[in-house]
């Protein structure tokens, strides 16, 4: 045991906690991480912290945020023997309860399989082979396997997050909830630091690299000097009202462009539907009674006789504000940014989670090469590598948003152009293939 335990009466208890956590230390800096885990272990068993106050918390990669980007990255690094610590501002129930889109591209499914974390997804997820787009009472059916040879999986993002958190904790890997980051320092040096508070104490975690995966409102993107990162943004003047309903869903993901506005019918299971309506950005979900919601959904889905869409108990409501956002570059010094911290796509196309996974696959490959060979070329090129895919994905989601929604500023001329484009897609296999290829996601280049 390290000398820091001394001969206090609680030494045996602390020794037990230390041994529980110690197996997660890997890589060349394991002694420093052992000390960090010992610091946490003393707290967990209720021992005195006075003897260890002076210990420096140290790891190879500090990850800010326990959303999909941060959690996937933590597993990719752990699999390669690279130590990391994840700090998350919110509680575990809050993180696991955030409802987000649940369409997984083949690349995301393959990543879960590679990590050995795909069992529940395979058991409970639903393979989706089709995408429907309705307009003027007509239907464009995209046969995803027929057009691309690929399928997607319906499996809620919150379920992915639960699987990732459970596996990390089961492996005794460091994951701190309710650890609020206040600032980052020394990003342009070789020992960047994360300053955060946890359990009423101010802490500092020293790292080789910091991965900022803390979302649009997190501290990571604000940490570089002013002017280094440029934000590109479009905010829409409408939103999505989403509900979960205990009702049998439609067979395929179904979008609709009607004169009354956009609608979407998706699913979370064979007994739970995920349903959306386009509403004004300033609207409030409390103004939408169940009867009003169902009536509008039937109308926008061209289900006039109300026989196709099954109604049920609405047990959850939320509003998604629509925006397109890209921050560039995605790195500064020893800070690497990923996920919603640097890009947000409109929800049409369900790209957010999948794009975050693509980011951290590239980031993990770069970090692994650095720790194995000392070569920093991939790390230096991380932003450029990711941004090509980011802009292509944002372009697709923005195009789909423009194709499917009613815009208040549109004239009759622009409305007719929109409908004519849908008519063209209806009759063109080439156009359908273009949409289907982008919907299922393009292969990830990790070379």
Average pLDDT along the chain: 88
User: How far apart, in whole angstroms, are the C-alpha atoms of residue 293 and residue 289?
Assistant: 6
pLDDT in tens, 386-400: 999 999 999 999 999
Beta bridge partners of 263: 256, 277
Looking at residue 283, what is its pLDDT? Answer: 87
- End-to-end alpha carbon distance in the chain: 43
Looking at residue 163, what is its pLDDT? Answer: 97
Looking at residue 18, what is its pLDDT? Answer: 28
Q: Quick one: which of 91, 345, 82, 73 has its CA closest to 232?
A: 345
Looking at residue 56, what is its pLDDT? Answer: 60
Q: Quick one: which of 333, 362, 364, 329 has its CA closest to 343?
A: 329
User: How far apart, in whole angstroms, are the C-alpha atoms of residue 40 and residue 172?
Assistant: 12
pLDDT in tens, 57-110: 899 999 999 999 999 999 999 999 999 999 999 999 999 988 777 899 999 999
Looking at residue 284, what is its pLDDT? Answer: 82
pLDDT in tens, 419-446: 999 999 999 999 999 999 999 999 998 8
98, 161 in Cβ contact below 8 A?
yes
| pLDDT, mean of residues 209-222 | 96
User: How far apart, in whole angstroms, are the C-alpha atoms of residue 394 and residue 346?
Assistant: 8
Residues in the chain: 447
Is the previous residue joined to 329 through a cis bond, with omega within 30 degrees of 0?
Answer: yes
pLDDT at residue 8 is higher than 70:
no
pLDDT at residue 12 is higher than 50:
no
DSSP conformational letter for 306: S
| pLDDT, mean of residues 390-416 | 96
47, 15 in Cβ contact below 8 A?
no
Kindly report which listed range (12-16, 75-79, 117-121, 249-253) carries the lowest average pLDDT score.
Answer: 12-16
Structure tokens at 117: 């974390």
pLDDT in tens, 15-44: 223 222 333 333 334 444 444 454 444 444
405, 422 in Cβ contact below 8 A?
no
Looking at residue 22, what is its pLDDT? Answer: 31
Angle at 38 between CA 35 and CA 39, to 5 degrees: 90
pLDDT in tens, 256-294: 999 999 999 999 888 999 999 999 998 887 889 999 999
Nearby residues of 21 by Cβ (< 8 Å), 6 or more positions away: 37, 38, 40, 41, 172
User: How far apart, in whole angstroms, are the C-alpha atoms of residue 261 and residue 239?
Assistant: 11
Helix (H) or strand (E) run with residue 440 in it: helix 429-440
- Residue 217 — very low, low, confident or very high, per pLDDT cuts 50/70/90? very high
Looking at residue 42, what is its pLDDT? Answer: 41
- Residue 233 — very low, low, confident or very high, per pLDDT cuts 50/70/90? very high
pLDDT above 90 covers a percentage of the chain that reads 81
DSSP conformational letter for 339: G
Structure tokens at 415: 């409305």
Looking at residue 287, what is its pLDDT? Answer: 87
User: How far apart, in whole angstroms, are the C-alpha atoms of residue 157 and residue 161?
Assistant: 6
Higher-confidence residue of 297 and 34: namely: 297
Q: Quick one: which of 305, 300, 293, 276 has its CA closest to 136?
A: 300
pLDDT at residue 333 is higher than 70:
yes
The strand pair at 209-212 and 261-267 is best described as unpaired
Coil, strand or helix at 126: strand
pLDDT in tens, 120-148: 999 999 999 999 999 999 999 999 999 99
Looking at residue 43, what is its pLDDT? Answer: 41
Higher-confidence residue of 374 and 8: namely: 374
pLDDT above 70 covers a percentage of the chain that reads 87
């Amino acid at each position: 045991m390290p000398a820091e335990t001394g001969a206090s009466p609680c030494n045996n208890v602390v020794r037990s906690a230390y041994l529980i956590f110690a197996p997660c230390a890997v890589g060349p800096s394991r002694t420093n991480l052992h000390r960090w885990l010992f610091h946490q272990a003393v707290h967990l068993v209720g021992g005195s912290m006075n003897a260890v106050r002076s210990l420096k918390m140290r790891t190879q990669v500090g990850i800010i945020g326990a959303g999909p980007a941060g959690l996937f990255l933590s597993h990719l690094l752990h699999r390669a023997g690279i130590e990391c610590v994840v700090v998350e501002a919110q509680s575990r129930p809050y993180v696991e309860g955030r409802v987000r889109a649940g369409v997984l591209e083949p690349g995301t499914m393959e990543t879960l399989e590679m990590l050995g974390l795909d069992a529940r997804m395979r058991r409970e997820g639903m393979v989706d082979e089709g995408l429907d787009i309705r307009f003027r009472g007509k239907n464009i059916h995209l046969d995803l396997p027929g057009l691309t040879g690929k399928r997607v999986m319906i499996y809620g993002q919150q379920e992915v997050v639960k699987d990732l958190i459970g596996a990390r904790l089961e492996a005794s890997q460091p994951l701190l909830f309710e650890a609020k980051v206040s600032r980052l320092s020394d990003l342009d040096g070789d020992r960047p630091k994360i300053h955060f508070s946890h359990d009423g104490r101010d802490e500092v975690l020293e790292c080789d690299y910091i991965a900022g995966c803390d979302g649009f409102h997190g501290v990571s993107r604000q940490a570089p000097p002013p002017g280094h990162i440029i934000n590109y943004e479009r905010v829409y003047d409408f939103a999505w009202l989403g509900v979960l309903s205990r009702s049998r869903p439609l067979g395929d993901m179904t979008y609709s462009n009607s004169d009354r506005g956009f609608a979407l019918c998706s699913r979370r299971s064979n007994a739970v539907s995920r349903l959306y309506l386009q509403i004004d950005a300033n609207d409030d979900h409390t103004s939408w009674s169940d009867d009003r919601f169902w009536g509008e959904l039937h109308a926008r889905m061209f289900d006039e006789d109300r026989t196709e869409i099954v109604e049920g108990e609405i047990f959850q409501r939320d509003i998604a504000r629509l925006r397109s956002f890209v921050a560039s570059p995605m790195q500064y010094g020893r800070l690497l940014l990923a996920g919603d911290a640097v890009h947000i796509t409109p929800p049409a196309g369900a790209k957010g989670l999948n794009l975050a996974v693509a980011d951290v696959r590239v980031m993990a490959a770069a970090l692994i090469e650095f720790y194995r060979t000392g070569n920093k070329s991939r790390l230096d090129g991380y932003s450029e590598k990711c941004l090509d895919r980011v802009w292509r994905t944002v372009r697709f989601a923005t195009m789909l948003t423009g194709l499917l929604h009613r815009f208040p500023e549109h004239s009759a001329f622009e409305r007719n152009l929109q409908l004519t484009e849908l008519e063209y897609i209806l009759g063109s296999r080439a156009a359908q293939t273009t949409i289907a290829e982008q919907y299922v996601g393009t292969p990830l280049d990790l070379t």
